Amino acid sequence: MKLGIAMSECSPIYQEAAYSFATGLNCDFHSVPEHSINEQFKECDAFILVGNDYKNSPSKKFAYNSGKPVIVINGSFFEGKNPKKYVRVNLNGFVNNMCELPSPDYKRWDSLAQYHGYKDIFKKREGKGILIALNAKTSPALLKFSMEDWLYDTVKQLKEVTDQPIYIRHHRKKKQGYSKKFNQMRHEFKVKEESDDRTSDVPKKYAASLVFTTTYSVKSLMYGTPHISGHPGDFVSNIVKSDISEESLNFYPNEDDLYEHYGRLSRLEWSIEEIKSGECWNT
C-alpha cells in the first residue's frame, strides 16, 4: 500500500503525525503540499490529509472524492497542555456527520480525562446567557452553507423562545466579517460579542451554548453547559437536541450517555507514539 499525504503549513506535531502513519503501516508514501497535486499522489491507495482546509486544496478535494480511505489529522478536542501530545484523527471525513465514529473505549476516556486533569465533568451547571460559538470558514464552505444566514436565523429563533442575553464568540482563526447581514443581526437583536478566551481550559459558564459544527461544543458540554447542535456535523450532535426551544436550551444528557459518547471521541485522539506503533490503526 502507498499513502498519499497532503501536507499543510502547520505545527510540527501534525506533520510528524502524518508521516508516522507510514511508519505504523510500514508502507511507502508520497507527500505534496496541500495547494498542489500530481499523478503520483492520485495513484496512492489511501490518503492522509493534514488540516481541514478543503476549499483551497486540490489534493484534499481529490482524496476526499476518490472513494479511497481518508484520514484527516486535526487539532485535539481536549489538548490544553504544552507541549501538545495528542492529535485528532478523523476517518473518512472532516466533521462528525462525514466521519466514522468508533465504538466507545471507557478505559481510554478515563485515561485521557486523568491526563488532562478533568474534574467535575458531566454535571449540569447553571449560567447566564446563550453563547453561539462560530466556525472558521472551512466547514461552512465545505458544506456549502451560508454562516451569516444561519447565524441570523438562529438568533431570531432564540429571541422567540428566551429572554437570555445572546453572545457571539468568534473563532480564533477567522473572525466573522461585518457584512450587511451580520450588522443587521447585531443591531436588530442586540447581541454581544465575546472573544475566544484561551486563558482557561474550562469554558465560561452560560445557560446554554449553540454551534454549527465547531468543536467548542465538546468541552462546553463536558463541563455541564446544555447545548444545541445547529448541524449534524457538530461532534456532540448524537446526544443533544437540534431544535431551538426552551426545552432544548435546558436539556442536558444523562451521565451514561455522556460517558459513552466521550468514550467514542477518545478513540479519535492519538499520540505520535500510538500512531507509530500501529495502535491507532487497530481502532
Return the C-alpha cell found at 208: 446554554
Instruction: Give pLDDT tens digits along the chain (283 positions).
Output: 899 999 988 788 999 999 998 888 889 999 999 999 999 999 999 999 998 777 778 999 899 889 999 988 988 888 765 568 899 988 776 555 566 778 999 999 999 999 998 989 999 999 999 999 988 766 666 677 778 888 899 999 999 999 999 998 887 766 555 577 777 887 888 888 776 665 556 788 899 999 988 888 999 999 999 999 998 888 999 999 999 999 999 999 999 999 999 999 999 999 999 999 888 877 5
Nearest to 268 by CA among 11, 67, 86, 10: 86
Asked whether the beta carbons of 189 and 156 are under 8 A apart, the reply is: yes
Residues in a beta bridge with 228: 210, 241
Asked whether the beta carbons of 251 and 98 are under 8 A apart, the reply is: no
Query: Which pLDDT belongs to residue 178?
Result: 56
Asked whether the beta carbons of 123 and 252 are under 8 A apart, the reply is: no
Q: Which residues, 6 or more positions from 127, have their beta carbon under 8 angstroms from its beta carbon?
A: 204, 205, 206, 207, 208, 225
Query: Which pLDDT belongs to residue 56?
Result: 78
Residue 67's SS3 state is: coil
User: Could you give the CA distance from residue 263 to residue 258 in angstroms, rounded to a whole number?
Assistant: 8
Query: Which pLDDT belongs to residue 196?
Result: 62
